[in-house]
């Protein structure tokens, strides 16, 4: 979900306003995917590298995360959305961790779309942690590492979308993206709408996936 800062800068607004509009884009999308038949949607919300940002911006992001959970949890629960977290969210402040765990517990039994949110997540860190756990249990293989990934209980990644014109993965789901289809758009995240997701899904549906075969 890239482009919040640039969206704000283009309008001569504080970066936090861009992040606020980014949360609104998340809300629109989560409401829409319930009717698109998606099994899971994973959003990259806070990376391990984001700790390098100014403290006031990090504080603002944490505040937005708390408000999002408090304001949208009832709607998630009522509509069968199941929340999952990938990454080490327990590194956050205790009040944030408590809210996250309450949300996870409340939606654990839901059977609709799974909303996986990447918090304090970095794919290289995820792979290293998974390999360490796999090695402690026996021989390391692709299968044993995959079983220890943060996404082990999620369906395979089919489509990875990157907004804002950036054409790279930025340490997101590197293992899982091995055979995923990639789709890039110039649209900044605060402007990303369900129609853009539908465009990406249409492009995905038109592709032939061979997984290395002919």
172: helix, coil or strand?
coil
Which residue among the candidates 4, 50, 110, 150 is catalytic per the annotation? Answer: 50
Residue 15: which residues within 8 A CB-CB, separation 6 or more?
A: 4, 5, 8, 9, 57, 60
Residue 88: which residues within 8 A CB-CB, separation 6 or more?
A: 119, 120, 121, 125
Q: Is 125 a catalytic residue?
A: no
Write out the two tokens for 28.
């629109």
Write out the two tokens for 130.
């998974």
Which residue among the candidates 2, 72, 120, 150 is catalytic per the annotation? Answer: 2
Q: Is 50 a catalytic residue?
A: yes
Which string of DSSP letters, residue by residue, matches 22-58?
A: HHHHHHHHHHHHTTTT-SEEEEEEEEGGGGGS-HHHH
User: Which residues are identified as catalytic?
Assistant: 2, 50
């Amino acid at each position: 979900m890239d482009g919040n800062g640039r969206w704000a800068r283009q309008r001569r607004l504080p970066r936090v306003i861009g992040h606020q509009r980014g949360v609104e884009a998340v809300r629109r999308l989560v409401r829409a995917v319930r009717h698109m038949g998606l099994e899971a949607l994973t959003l990259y919300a806070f990376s391990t590298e984001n700790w390098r940002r100014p403290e006031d911006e990090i504080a603002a992001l944490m505040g937005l995360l708390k408000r999002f959970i408090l304001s949208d949890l009832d709607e998630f629960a009522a509509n069968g959305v199941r929340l999952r977290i990938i990454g080490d969210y327990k590194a956050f402040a205790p009040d944030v961790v408590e809210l996250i765990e309450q949300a996870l517990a409340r939606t654990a039994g839901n059977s609709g779309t799974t909303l996986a949110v990447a918090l304090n997540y970095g794919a290289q860190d995820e792979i290293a942690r998974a390999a360490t756990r796999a090695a402690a249990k026996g021989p390391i293989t692709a299968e044993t590492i995959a079983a220890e990934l943060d996404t082990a209980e999620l369906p395979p990644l089919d489509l990875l979308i990157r907004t804002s014109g950036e054409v790279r993965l930025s340490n997101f789901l590197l293992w899982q993206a091995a055979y995923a289809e990639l789709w890039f758009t110039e649209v900044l995240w605060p402007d990303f709408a369900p129609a853009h997701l539908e465009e990406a899904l249409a492009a995905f549906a038109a592709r032939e996936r061979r997984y290395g075969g002919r």
